[in-house]
Homo-oligomer: A and B are copies of this chain.
Amino acid sequence: MTKPTLPKGTRDFSAAEIEKREYIIKVLRKHFVLYGFAPLETPSFENLSTLTGKYGEEGDRLIFKILNSGEFKKDISAEDLEQKSSAEIAPKISEKALRYDLTVPFARYVVMNRNEISIPFKRFQIQPVWRADRPQKGRYREFYQCDADIVGSQSILQELELIKLYDDCFAELGLAVDIHINHRKILSGLAEVAGIEDKLIAFTVALDKLDKVGSEKVIAEWLEKGIAEDAISVLTPLLDNTDGHEQLKTLKKLLAKSEIGSAGIEELEFILQSMDELGLSQANLIPDFKLARGLEYYTGAILEVKARDQDMGSIGGGGRYDDLTGIFGLKDMPGVGISFGLDRIYLVLETLDLFPKDIEDMPKILFMNFGSAEALQSLKLAAQLRMAGLAAEVYPEEARMKKQFSYADKGKFSHAVMMGAEEMQKGEISVKNMKSGKQDTILQSELQHYLQENSSF
User: A residues within 8 Å of B by Cβ?
Assistant: 1-7, 10-15, 18-19, 31, 33-36, 38-47, 49-50, 61-62, 64-67, 69-74, 76-78, 81-82, 84-86, 89-90, 93-96, 98, 108-109, 111-113, 118-120, 122, 128, 130, 132, 142, 150, 153-155, 157-158, 160-161, 164, 168, 274, 277-278, 328-329, 362, 364, 366, 369, 375-376, 379-380, 383, 386, 389-394, 396-397, 406-407, 410-411
Contacts and interface: CB of A to CB of B under 8 A. Distances in A.
Contacts of A112: 3-6, 12
Given A66-B66, A120-B396, A128-B44, A160 B379 contact: yes
Nearest to A366: B36
B62 A86 contact: no
Contacts of A42: 12-13
Contacts of A153: 396-397
Given A12-B43, A73-B85, A155-B396, A376 B33 contact: no
Nearest to A107: B4
A45 B7 contact: yes
Nearest to A108: B4
A118 B410 contact: yes
Contact of A161 (B1, B118, B379): B379
Which one of A39, A40, A109, A160 has the greatest number of beta carbons of chain B within 10 Å? A39
A390 B118 CA distance: 21
A117 to B, nearest CB: 9
Contact of A12 (B1, B41, B85, B154): B41
Chain copies in the assembled complex:
2
21 contacts: A7-B43, A7-B96, A13-B41, A13-B42, A15-B38, A18-B40, A33-B391, A34-B392, A35-B393, A36-B392, A43-B142, A45-B64, A66-B98, A69-B132, A73-B81, A78-B78, A119-B407, A161-B393, A277-B376, A278-B376, A278-B383
Contact of A89 (B46, B73, B119, B155): B73
A375 B157 contact: yes
B43 A10 contact: yes
B67 A35 contact: no
B278 A36 contact: no
A161 B394 contact: yes
Given A7-B96, A375-B157, A67 B81 contact: no
Contacts of A364: 36
A47 B4 contact: yes
Which label, helix, strand, loop or mixed, suits the secondary structure of the A interface?
A: mixed
Contacts of A65: 66-67
A73 B94 CA distance: 13
Given A1-B328, A44-B44, A78-B78, A34 B73 contact: no
| Nearest 9 Cβ contacts at the A-B interface | A36-B393, A155-B396, A10-B43, A15-B38, A118-B410, A1-B329, A69-B132, A78-B78, A13-B41
Contact of A40 (B12, B274, B328): B12
Contacts of A34: 386, 389-392
Contacts of A108: 4
A391 to B, nearest CB: 5
A69 B135 CA distance: 13
Nearest to A396: B155
Contacts of A72: 86, 89-90
Nearest to A156: B396
Contacts of A118: 406-407, 410-411
Contacts of A35: 386, 391-393
A232 to B, nearest CB: 39
Which one of A36, A118, A376 has the greatest number of beta carbons of chain B within 10 Å? A36
